[in-house]
Amino acid sequence: MRPVPAPVPAIEISSLTKRYGPTVGVERLDLTVAAGEVFGFLGPNGAGKTTTLRCLIGLLRPTEGQVRALGLDPVADHRRLAPALGYLPGELRLYPELTGHQTLRLLADLQGAPTPRRAELCERLALPDSVLGRTVREYSRGMKQKLGLVQALQHDPDLVVLDEPTEGLDPLVQETFFELLAEARAAGRTVLLSSHVLPEVQRTCGRVAIVRDGKLVTVESVAALREARARRIRLTFADGLGQRPLGEAERWSPRWDGDQVELLVPPRRVVDALRGLLALPVADLAVEEAGLEEAFLDLYRQADPGPPP
Ligand SMILES: Nc1ncnc2c1ncn2[C@@H]1O[C@H](COP(=O)(O)OP(=O)(O)OP(=O)(O)O)[C@@H](O)[C@H]1O
């Protein structure tokens, strides 16, 4: 019998610390993900994403703190959790001498659940019998990744944990993957997805957590990040005089290119900025939202203590 996800949060991590000897993987990390969320987990290399995911699925035992997946302890209750959990590791290790079919069957045995979605997923991810009958040794990287996705979803789990899922997938397969995520969301499944690919997170996730140096920097909705992102003001001067002082607007680090200048201004300061700038002989003007990427990079930087004074 499957554990019932509601009303407990699908993921509940409190004060999680994982040390590898002297190395800190994550430190006092708190995170709650409600059932039905598609949640992004972002952070630079070595930030602690994989460590957190491995603690969540019971592959690693926390040094301190508590982790609950679907209300269960991932280590102590592993057998009860396995049928309701799908996991795609970042570095997928498969037995090279097994065929694709054999691999999926073996992993289903470990999941301890029937696999109602296997055939449909293989078809949608373009893994025909001619491929599944071959040994994994002969698979390309993308084929292995597709097999990884099939095994993570084949038993239609309530909680899906994906570590860099689109690595190695071609754009067509990525589209299929995004469709699968949208369907998972519509069906009320919970997805935790770690990624470096910001547009992917923007497209698929409702909320994101950003980690850095083993610590949680922020948890935000993607909509809030979008709203908070800077506006890019682009001005063109037509007098051929090039770079000139911009008065008050100098604070927004103008970047010059001939007679054109760009400034990144916080959303609530745009009107102020324009008031000063339009006193200058401006020939053309554009204001647009800066990319979400810039909003994320800002958050990465906020967490960076920078060089010592
Ligand atoms: N098995 C291990 N033994 C020792 N240190 C480890 C081990 N696994 C991870 N670490 C360390 O823990 C920290 C967090 O690593 P982790 O793999 O969780 O980061 P990540 O955010 O997943 O990084 P990436 O984006 O590069 O995959 C790093 O400093 C890493 O060196």
Nearest protein CA to atom 7 of ligand 1, as residue: 20
Q: Give 216 Cα–ligand 1 centroid separation in angstroms.
A: 15
Q: Give 128 Cα–ligand 1 centroid separation in angstroms.
A: 35
- For residue range 205-238, list pLDDT tens digits in order: 999 998 989 999 889 898 887 777 778 899 999 8
Q: Give 227 Cα–ligand 1 centroid separation in angstroms.
A: 32
- Token pair, residue 270, equals 């745009």
Atom of ligand 1 nearest to the CA of 52: 18
Q: What is the pLDDT of residue 200?
A: 82
Q: Give 228 Cα–ligand 1 centroid separation in angstroms.
A: 30
| Least confident interval from 35-44, 64-73, 115-124 | 35-44
Q: What is the pLDDT of residue 300?
A: 59
Q: What is the pLDDT of residue 239?
A: 87
Closest CA to 265 of 283, 287, 244: 287
Q: Give 24 Cα–ligand 1 centroid separation in angstroms.
A: 9
Q: Give 59 Cα–ligand 1 centroid separation in angstroms.
A: 14
Atom of ligand 1 nearest to the CA of 214: 14
Nearest protein CA to atom 9 of ligand 1, as residue: 25
Nearest protein CA to atom 25 of ligand 1, as residue: 45
- Token pair, residue 284, equals 């053309």
Surface-to-core class of residue 100, CB atoms within 10 Å of its CB (0-12 exposed, 13-18 middle, 19+ buried) = buried
The number of C-alpha atoms within 13 Å of 276 and in the hemisphere containing its C-beta is 13
Q: Give 26 Cα–ligand 1 centroid separation in angstroms.
A: 9
- For residue range 130-160, list pLDDT tens digits in order: 999 999 999 999 999 999 999 999 999 999 9
What average pLDDT score do residues 190-213 get?
A: 88
Which of 13, 18, 19, 20 has the most ligand 1 atoms within 8 A of CB, as the residue to mutate? 20
* Delimiting residues of CATH 3.30.70 domain(s) in the chain: 230-290
Strand pairing class (11-20; 23-33):
antiparallel
Q: Give 308 Cα–ligand 1 centroid separation in angstroms.
A: 25
Fold of the CATH domain 230-290 = Alpha-Beta Plaits (3.30.70)
d(CA 302, CA 309): 16
Atom of ligand 1 nearest to the CA of 90: 27
> Which residues have CB under 6 Å of ligand 1?
20, 23, 25, 43, 45-51, 90
* Delimiting residues of CATH 3.40.50.300 domain(s) in the chain: 11-223
Q: Is the pLDDT of residue 260 over 80?
A: yes
Atom of ligand 1 nearest to the CA of 23: 5
Nearest protein CA to atom 13 of ligand 1, as residue: 25
**8 A C-beta contact, residue 56 and residue 74:** yes
Which of 29, 51, 164 has the most ligand 1 atoms within 8 A of CB, as the residue to mutate? 51
Q: What is the pLDDT of residue 33?
A: 97
Reported CATH class of domain 11-223? alpha beta
Q: Give 71 Cα–ligand 1 centroid separation in angstroms.
A: 26
Return the higher-pLDDT residue of 185 and 196: 185
CA pseudo-torsion sign 47, 51, 57, 63? negative
ipTM over 0.95: yes
